[in-house]
Amino acid sequence: MHISDDDFETAIEEALRLIPPRFHNALANIGIAMADEPDERELATMHNPHDELLGLYEGIPLPQRTNDYGGVMPDIITIFKGPHERICDTHDELVDQIRKTVMHEIGHYFGFDDETLHAHGY
């Protein structure tokens, strides 16, 4: 399933709008980016190298931030377009998967691990 860069970015923005206000308001010092494909460094973060890397959170999760937190580069969430296109067959499936990926990576920002996020459908 192929999607234009503009439509992919719109799907990410729509997913971000679905975050409840109390969580959205807690997002600080974080950026959301899109990329076509993960690079070797990003792929090395995967537990199973045979899976597709759909998204990646890099930073200091909110619960681990101390009073000394400050003056650091923003956390970054990257959503990868190519892997989404490869695993989805329809536009609706692709948009839904982008939403799940965004929520999954936002979950990491809030300190949730993969097991917890997968148990909740993300």
pTM over 0.85: yes
Place of tokens 């930073």: 59
* Fold classification of 5-64+72-119 (topology level): Zincin-like (3.30.2010)
Taking residues 19-27, what's their average pLDDT? 90
Chain segment 64-121, per-residue pLDDT in tens: 988 888 888 999 999 999 999 999 999 999 999 999 999 999 999 999 998 898 888 8
The Cα 55–Cα 11 span in angstroms is 14
The domain limits of the chain are: 5-64+72-119
Percent of the chain with pLDDT over 90: 72
Task: Give CA–CA dist 38/102, Å, rounded.
Answer: 15
Rounded CA-CA distance 61/57 in Å is 9
